Amino acid sequence: MAIRNQRLEELRRLELKGLEARFLAEIQHGLNCSPFEGEAVMEVVREVFFPHLQDNAESGCHLQPGRIALVAVRAEEPAGKPLACCGRTTVTLTVHRGAQDDALMSREGFAAFRRARIPDLCQQALSQGGVLTREDLAYHVFYVSPRTISRDLKALRQADPEAVLPLRSNKHDIGPVLTHRVRIIELALEGRSFSQIRATMRHSGSAIANYLNTFTRVVQLHRRGLQAGQIAFLLRRSKGLVGEYLALLAACQSDANRHYHLEQLLLCDGRGWQSEDEKKASPHRSAQQ
């Protein structure tokens, strides 16, 4: 039996997240090209476009200081799917925020800086439709070993056990942590306020509002007699996620407190879960309509 070379497997996974690997995957699946044909097209692209892209970079068309762009796995890709078959997207992350991060590193060190930025970076990627992995954070963001990132993640979990980082392993239940979406719904059904959920889960307001609105739509469609598969099709969500939401709905029937907050969510119909900016803008939109 062959011995696994974990180092080579790790490097292969990183290679699959490059722009060229994403381009090859797009044309092979979209145009039904063979790998050989895909490589031929890639070679033409290198010859025709790359010199112009380099000229643009030299002329100043680049990211702002402290920001990076990297390729991440799409958030909707399910667990267990080979990375080579997963859709990928390019996300832009703000790694260094300027003077405040300089002061943090000077005062508490590099570990404190990483642990302060990891939750926000994971959320930034998720809000753009991607999910980061431990390897992404190690090799493409902070340039440290995966073991260092594992220690950082362990420290973050110990500091706040209820917080769920939207990493790919957590989001798709590859690891032992509940999905972040289900945990957000649970907190809402427990009666937590919007600001409390945002502080606990470290998610953007728009992301939290989107998850709660999706949950209320699942409940409404279920009460109209639709099955899980039909709901998933109509809402363009995975059947597994809809199943988790329906399990939470069933649990509400035997819990008076959760049932009360569920009915409040349905009465709001999502409007009570707007971000602060959206709430301020709502009266202006209503006046214009």
One domain, residues 147 and 227 = no
Residue 66 has pLDDT above 70, yes or no: yes
Domain encompassing residue 73: 13-39+66-171
pLDDT band at 241 (very low <50, low <70, confident <90, very high): confident
**CA 189/CA 252 separation, integer angstroms:** 8
Residue 171 has pLDDT above 70, yes or no: no
Residue 79 has pLDDT above 90, yes or no: no
The tokens for 170 are: 């957590």
Look at residues 145, 149, 142, 119 and name the one whose alpha carbon lies nearest to residue 70. 142
Angle, vertex CA 15, rays to CA 45 and CA 118, nearest 5: 115
Mean residue pLDDT across the chain:
80
Residue 284 has a pLDDT of: 43
One domain, residues 96 and 220 = no
pLDDT in tens, 195-222: 888 877 766 677 788 788 889 999 999 9
**CA 266/CA 193 separation, integer angstroms:** 15
Residue 225 has pLDDT above 80, yes or no: yes
Look at residues 210, 199, 212 and name the one whose alpha carbon lies nearest to residue 264. 212
One domain, residues 33 and 104 = yes
One domain, residues 107 and 200 = no
One domain, residues 74 and 122 = yes
Q: Is 201 helix (H, G, I), strand (E, B) or coil?
A: helix
Residue 282 has a pLDDT of: 44
Residue 172 has pLDDT above 90, yes or no: no
Asked which of 171, 200, 231 is the last residue of a domain, the reply is 171
Asked which of 154, 171, 188 is the last residue of a domain, the reply is 171
**CA 230/CA 94 separation, integer angstroms:** 39
Residue 235 has pLDDT above 90, yes or no: no
Average pLDDT over residues 121-147: 90
Which residues have a Cβ under 8 Å from the Cβ of 185 and sit 6 or more positions away?
A: 211, 212, 215, 245, 248
Question: What domain count does the chain have?
Answer: 2
Residue 178 has a pLDDT of: 43
Look at residues 159, 191, 156 and name the one whose alpha carbon lies nearest to residue 170. 156
Angle, vertex CA 179, rays to CA 177 and CA 184, nearest 5: 115
Among 21-35, 46-60, 102-116, 233-247, the range with the most confident prediction by mean pLDDT is 102-116
Residue 52 has a pLDDT of: 56
Residue 227 lies in a domain: yes
One domain, residues 167 and 233 = no
Q: What is the pTM of this model?
A: 0.54
One domain, residues 220 and 261 = yes
Residue 275 has a pLDDT of: 47
Average pLDDT over residues 28-48: 81
Residue 281 has a pLDDT of: 43
Residue 169 has a pLDDT of: 76
Among 57-71, 120-134, 214-228, the range with the most confident prediction by mean pLDDT is 214-228
One domain, residues 154 and 30 = yes
One domain, residues 225 and 132 = no
Residue 141 has a pLDDT of: 96
Residue 265 has a pLDDT of: 87
Residue 62 has a pLDDT of: 59
Residue 288 has a pLDDT of: 39
First to last CA, the chain: 69
Residue 90 has a pLDDT of: 86
